[in-house]
Amino acid sequence: MKKLVLILLTIFVYAMVQAQIAPSPNLTEAEADNLRAEFQQKSQEKNYQAAMEKAVQVNEAFLQQKRFKEAASICYQMDQLINESEKKAGKANFEFRFMVANSRLRLYTREGKPESSKHNLGALQYCMSQLKDESRRDEMLLSEAEYYSKFDMPGKSLERYKELLRRCVTNSTEDTREDCYKNMLGYAERNKITPLTKTVQEQYTTWQDSIKMVRAARELETLQQNHQTLQQDLQEKEKTISNNKIITIGLWTVIVILIAALVFFLIFVLRNIYQIRKLKNSLKIANESNAQKSHFISNINTQITPSLDNMESAIARSSSATVLEDNIVSLRKRIADMQTYISLEETREESYPISNVDIKLLCENIMIKAKSGFRVGIEDAVAVPRVNVKTNAEALDQVLSYLLERAAFYTESGKISLEFKKRNARTGQFIITDTGATIDPEKQEELFKPFGEDPDAPQFDWLLPICQLMAYKLNGTLKVDTEYKKGTRFVLDLCS
């Protein structure tokens, strides 16, 4: 895209230079004033590029009519536009600076001011060196040529005109190349530049002679190409028969390769089918094994429960078996947790039924129930906005209650807080923070593994895997905030 814009800009500038060289009728004062009005309109619209291009046209029209003061005023207005555009862009615009320097150079050259012209010539050349493209070099060459011609440096002036003519010839097509010579020749005759007239006339004559020779050579080349084409047609027809034989052999070879590839593909497919069936059978065996484990654990509960009942009855008749009674209660809870976990694991992919829940009211009620178990002096805090979320209130109540009970167990002083943050239209985040004991980083990964190896682990740590499964069924995740170092923080992310 940038390359296309550069080409179009080069064509536009080249056309402007050729328009200055080629003879054109002078504009009337009314037409020049209309151009100035268009320039001022573009300036008010802050269309800097269009305004600067229109200013160049207005300046050239005023120079033709020798309205030098008005041309100087246009240059001053161009300076103001440049200042505005550079402040807005935050960088120097050397293209705009080139345009105003070129306009001032042409103005001072026409007025015959050598010092001012020389200063603006230097500014023009500096701006040209800062531009990344050569699209405006033709403008600079023409202004330099007129400057050197005006202030008695004919040698340098002729060099610039020659370079301008060379660039015109190089960038034009064969059909428009003759216009370059004619326009430059007419320009030299109108401005009475004798050395330029002589040089262009010689180059024009040489070009006309060379173009005649080129056309004759092309005609000869065309005839030779036609002859070679006929010879090639004959040779190709001779090769057609032998090529057909080769193609036939090649086709049979391809057919054999395709048949072999098809056989290999069939073998590959059959092998994959066998492996898939084998994997399905292995999966079936694994599922049956898991079912047997679940049944086994359920049977353990069925068989142990009567014994525990008998032990409790015996304890009730004894007044010295408090420790045994506590162990029996703990054992019952752990068996119940095992059954709960297995039940959740079996229905992992079955989401809870959901409804609109007032999160603020729910969290306040949960905290009221939970803080009865807090130690004396522990501060509780609920930071929840008034918002409704589609979720399962009962399951969410259980998860948050478990986490608050755990926080109360591990927190001896300080604060326990429950927060909710709405991340976007569909996701929210519950944050349970306490100032109690921190979790060893090496043990954080073990927290959510069901029924760990530590038999002395608190009841709440046994419930964390259950909470994580319930969070999953709520379409969420439960994790420990590893960056929080002033206690323990659990984060429950839910997606409604």
Element (H, E) at 359: helix 359-370
Contacts of 128 (CB under 8 A, 6+ apart): 98, 136, 137, 140
- Structural domains of the chain, with CATH: 2-192 (1.25.40), 355-495 (3.30.565.10)
Q: Provide the 10 A C-beta neighbour count for residue 477.
A: 13
The confidence band for 399, taking pLDDT boundaries of 50, 70 and 90, is very high
Could you please report the per-residue DSSP string of 248-270? HHHHHHHHHHHHHHHHHHHHHHH
Amino acid at 281: N
**101 touches 127 (CB < 8 A):** yes
- Measured over the CA atoms of residue 436, residue 439, residue 445 and residue 451, the dihedral's sign is negative
- Measured over the CA atoms of residue 467, residue 469, residue 475 and residue 476, the dihedral's sign is positive
Condensed to tens digits (0 to 9), the pLDDT of residues 79-90 reads: 888 898 889 888
Q: Provide the 10 A C-beta neighbour count for residue 38.
A: 16
The confidence band for 12, taking pLDDT boundaries of 50, 70 and 90, is very low
**433 touches 416 (CB < 8 A):** yes
Q: Does the global pTM surpass 0.95?
A: no
**95 touches 82 (CB < 8 A):** no
Condensed to tens digits (0 to 9), the pLDDT of residues 91-132 reads: 888 888 888 888 888 888 888 888 888 888 888 888 888 887
**78 touches 103 (CB < 8 A):** yes
pLDDT at 13 over 70: no
Q: What is the mean pLDDT of residues 48-59?
A: 87
Q: What is the mean pLDDT of residues 310-339?
A: 67
The percentage of the chain sitting over the pLDDT mark of 90, rounded to a whole number, equals 17
What is the C-alpha R_g of the chain? 46
Distances (CA, A) of 220 to 213, 230, 232, 233: 11, 16, 18, 20
Condensed to tens digits (0 to 9), the pLDDT of residues 277-305 reads: 867 765 765 565 466 456 546 555 564 66
Condensed to tens digits (0 to 9), the pLDDT of residues 144-171 reads: 778 887 788 878 877 877 777 777 777 7
The confidence band for 21, taking pLDDT boundaries of 50, 70 and 90, is low
The confidence band for 494, taking pLDDT boundaries of 50, 70 and 90, is very high
Of the candidates 224, 223, 165, 150, the residue with the CA atom closest to the CA atom of residue 196 = 165
**433 touches 419 (CB < 8 A):** yes
The confidence band for 460, taking pLDDT boundaries of 50, 70 and 90, is low
**105 touches 147 (CB < 8 A):** yes
In angstroms, rounded to a whole number, what is the distance separating the alpha carbons of residues 359 and 397? 10
pLDDT at position 347 is: 84
Q: What is the mean pLDDT of residues 227-253?
A: 85
The confidence band for 11, taking pLDDT boundaries of 50, 70 and 90, is very low
Distances (CA, A) of 349 to 107, 451, 491: 84, 21, 22
pLDDT at position 185 is: 67
Of the candidates 331, 298, 334, 323, the residue with the CA atom closest to the CA atom of residue 460 = 334
If 0-12 CB within 10 Å is exposed, 13-18 middle and 19+ buried, where does residue 278 land? exposed
pLDDT at position 361 is: 94
Element (H, E) at 382: strand 379-383
> Which two three-digit tokens encode residue 432?
């349970």
pLDDT at position 436 is: 87
pLDDT at position 289 is: 47
pLDDT at position 305 is: 65
**315 touches 328 (CB < 8 A):** yes
Contacts of 375 (CB under 8 A, 6+ apart): 408, 411, 412, 413
Condensed to tens digits (0 to 9), the pLDDT of residues 405-456 reads: 999 988 988 999 999 998 888 889 999 999 988 888 777 777 787 765 554 4
Q: Provide the 10 A C-beta neighbour count for residue 294.
A: 16
Of the candidates 95, 97, 116, 96, the residue with the CA atom closest to the CA atom of residue 107 = 116
Average pLDDT of the chain is 80
Condensed to tens digits (0 to 9), the pLDDT of residues 187-223 reads: 767 766 766 776 776 776 776 677 777 777 777 888 8
Find the length of the chain.
Answer: 496
Residue with tokens 């070679």: 228
489: β partners: 433
Residue with tokens 């509780």: 380
